[in-house]
Amino acid sequence: MKLLFVADPLEVFKTTKDTTFAMMREAARRGHQLWACEPADLVWVKGARVVARAARAIALTGDQKAWFTVLSQGELALADTDAVIMRKDPPFDSEYFYATHLLGQAEREGAKVFNKPAALRDHPEKLAILEFPEHIAPTLVTRSASAVRAFHAEHRDIILKPLDGMGGMGIFRVGPDGLNLGSIVETLNRDGAQTLMVQKYLPEIVHGDKRVLVIAGEPVPYSLARIPQGSEIRGNLAAGGKGVAQPLTSQDRKIAEALGPVLAARGLLLVGLDIIGDCLTEINVTSPTCFQEITQQTGFDVPKMFVDALEAAVREGEDA
């Protein structure tokens, strides 16, 4: 198959832990052709198709630093590939949004895009949990400072976070004393101009913020518990959390099996559920990670499971 990865610049990949690299490596092992571009390379003009200008056909070298070599470079119509894998990291900003529309046009021209562009738009990673209230902790989404104060008065120990953050960016905890609640709300909601999310603090975070991967509706049997270190409340690996792979708990599996088929039916081939204790906290759909950490610690081959699912999805599209 000819695979086009739409991603961040290849030169910034950290191959020892990068999930997109792990996908590429498994695909290359099977003999698939690898192409790569950035969202800025996507172009459409009336009378033509969506193309990736300056797309690069690459081969993997096996070297950790100079990990790829460019075989050729040029314009590539997305519909001339077997699959387009959208792996641009957050934030989900205006440019990401526009890229999903170009990818949607490519779909209309015959391209197969994973995850489906419309599904990326319909599942903002923090707000997507609102559809599944039976699995989440007490949660508030608001611009109102008074609503936040009332939520704090009820739950006493809370977490506040922006809706467009990633890697633990902009997350605050306010305890029963309410210290700095006003200034934190002002910082996050910018005098009512920006919506924020508030959730009851879950003390189970000390045991990790678990990333549960769901591929084609089926959960990977191990999660990666991202455990806060030192005085941190954030388990995100980008914030210094320690990643520890562990078997899914019964509640992890219950949540994954409830959501997996629903999300897969909407065109989300790969999803990363974040679970603290027994509560779902986020649904990650843009570029879920943790393939390498889980594979290295458990021996379960997550990239293999993903490429198996990708091949099956492409075949299914051809048969439809």
User: Cα–Cα distance between 15 and 248 in angstroms, integer?
Assistant: 26
Which among 228, 223, 318 is positioned nearest to 278, based on CA atoms? 223
- How many Cα neighbours within 13 Å face the side chain of 250? 0
Q: Is 242 assigned a catalytic role?
A: no
Q: Is 108 assigned a catalytic role?
A: no
User: Cα–Cα distance between 252 and 303 in angstroms, integer?
Assistant: 21
Q: Is 116 assigned a catalytic role?
A: no
H helix count then E strand count, the chain: 8, 17
Backbone angles phi, psi at 272, to 5 degrees: -115, 110
Crossing angle for the helix pair 291-298 and 302-319, to the nearest 10 degrees: 120
Which among 215, 234, 207 is positioned nearest to 288, based on CA atoms? 215
Q: Is 200 assigned a catalytic role?
A: no
User: Cα–Cα distance between 13 and 68 in angstroms, integer?
Assistant: 11
User: One of 18, 234, 252, 293 is an active-site residue; which one?
Assistant: 234
Q: What are 69's strand-pairing partners? A: 59
Which among 98, 141, 142, 140 is positioned nearest to 120, based on CA atoms? 98
Q: Is 234 assigned a catalytic role?
A: yes
User: One of 26, 107, 274, 293 is an active-site residue; which one?
Assistant: 274
Q: Is 226 assigned a catalytic role?
A: yes
Give the single-character DSSP code of 83.
E
271: number of Cβ within 10 Å: 27
User: One of 226, 236, 252, 293 is an active-site residue; which one?
Assistant: 226
Dihedral sign computed on CA atoms, order 303, 307, 310, 312: negative
3-state secondary structure (DSSP) of residue 195:
coil
Q: Is 157 assigned a catalytic role?
A: no
User: One of 18, 107, 282, 293 is an active-site residue; which one?
Assistant: 282
Residue whose token pair is 């489906």: 116
User: One of 211, 236, 252, 293 is an active-site residue; which one?
Assistant: 211
User: One of 161, 200, 252, 293 is an active-site residue; which one?
Assistant: 161
User: One of 56, 112, 116, 126 is an active-site residue; which one?
Assistant: 126
Q: Is 161 assigned a catalytic role?
A: yes
Using left for φ > 0, alpha for ψ between -120 and 50, and beta otherwise, residue 270 falls in: beta
Question: Catalytic amino acids?
Answer: 126, 161, 211, 226, 234, 274, 282, 284
